Amino acid sequence: MGLSDTDRAVIKAEMRDILVNLARINQPIAYSELAAQLKTAYIHYRAPAFGQILREIAADEEEAGRPMLAVLVVNKQTGICGAGFFKHAAAKGYDVSDIEAFWRAELARVHDYWSNVE
């Protein structure tokens, strides 16, 4: 059973709000922890829709001239984003040849931006 458009929109808005709050304090979150924090609707962190929603958030932020909030969502084992984030960034023209350096730089950009926004 897939998500309704309404559930998808609600999850996306809630995810974005959680990520903005984390960006302000420069705090990454594991995929599973982000899924567990969602209160409005359930979605498993390994569901394809979960990754798609994160990519949509990243794209929306970029289109608005802001850094990619999805950089905050990390793999528990590696401590950095999963391959999907880097594929998305590469498709948008970012140099991800050194994924850890790119991740750190984008994480800093997200924090710098959101720590200065009311």
pLDDT of residue 7: 85
- With CA atoms as reference, report the closest residue to 86 among 97, 77, 76, 75: 97
Global confidence as pTM: 0.92
pLDDT of residue 1: 53
pLDDT per 10-residue tile (average), the chain, 118 residues = 82 96 96 95 90 91 93 95 92 94 96 90
Angle at 49 between CA 45 and CA 53, to 5 degrees: 90
Q: 């809630």: which residue's tokens?
A: 14
| Cβ atoms of residues 57 and 15 within 8 Å | yes
pLDDT of residue 45: 93
pLDDT of residue 33: 97
Would you tell me how many other CB atoms lie within 10 Å of the CB of residue 26? 14
Q: Which helix (DSSP H) or strand (DSSP E) does residue 29 occupy?
A: strand 29-30
